[in-house]
């Protein structure tokens, strides 16, 4: 392809030159290395949904270092696809240990899975140390003036 052809193809179909919102080189389909990643202060939110059904493909300790939530929703229920991922649950512990402040965090699994149960049992002491509470699938969440079953939090 000539440079003109590449330019025309990216203008006629601009979505093909984006990967996860980052402009890419259409010939190589890899992010431009010249774009700096700006690391700002962490973001504090009340409720955060762990991306991609708690799959390890998109979430790592950096997510939990940067997105600091009072409540994290874990919605994965597909063991064949690694959802929820034990690595992501471990990343929560690693990320939270870097906060430098012991804020209460509540993990809300929307499904009762073997991965979540095993992780809970094997890391319970670390969870207590980091002030992380895990709700059972039959738990109730109370936010402001409203209460509802934890398993109803789906997006």
Render pLDDT for 73-118 as a digit per residue (tens, 0 to 9): 888 777 676 668 889 999 999 999 999 888 999 998 888 888 888 9
Residue 10 lies in a domain: no
Residue 26 DSSP one-character state: T
Residue 135 lies in a domain: yes
Host domain of residue 99: 43-149
Give tens-digit pLDDT for 124-134: 999 999 999 99
Residue 68 lies in a domain: yes
Number of domains within the chain: 1
List all residues 6 or more positions away from 38 whose beta carbon is below 8 Å from its beta carbon.
Answer: none
Residue 18 lies in a domain: no
Residue 14 lies in a domain: no
Residue 107 lies in a domain: yes
Strands 18-19 and 22-23: antiparallel
Residue 110 lies in a domain: yes
Is the pTM higher than 0.85? The answer reads no
Distances (CA, A) of 126 to 65, 69, 91: 17, 18, 12
Residue 34 lies in a domain: no
């Amino acid at each position: 392809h000539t440079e003109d052809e590449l330019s025309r193809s990216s203008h006629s179909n601009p979505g093909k030159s984006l990967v996860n919102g980052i402009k890419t080189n259409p010939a190589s389909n890899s992010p431009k290395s010249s774009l700096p990643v700006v690391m700002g202060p962490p973001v504090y939110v009340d409720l955060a949904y762990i991306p991609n059904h708690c799959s390890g493909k998109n979430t790592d300790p950096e997510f939990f270092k940067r997105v600091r939530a009072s409540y994290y929703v874990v919605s994965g229920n597909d063991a064949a696809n690694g959802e929820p991922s034990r690595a992501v649950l471990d990343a929560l512990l690693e990320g939270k240990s870097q906060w430098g402040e012991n804020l209460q965090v509540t993990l809300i699994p929307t499904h009762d899975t073997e991965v979540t149960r095993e992780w809970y049992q094997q890391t319970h002491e670390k969870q207590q140390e980091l002030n992380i509470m895990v709700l059972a699938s039959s738990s109730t969440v109370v936010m402001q003036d409203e209460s509802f079953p934890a398993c109803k939090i789906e997006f």
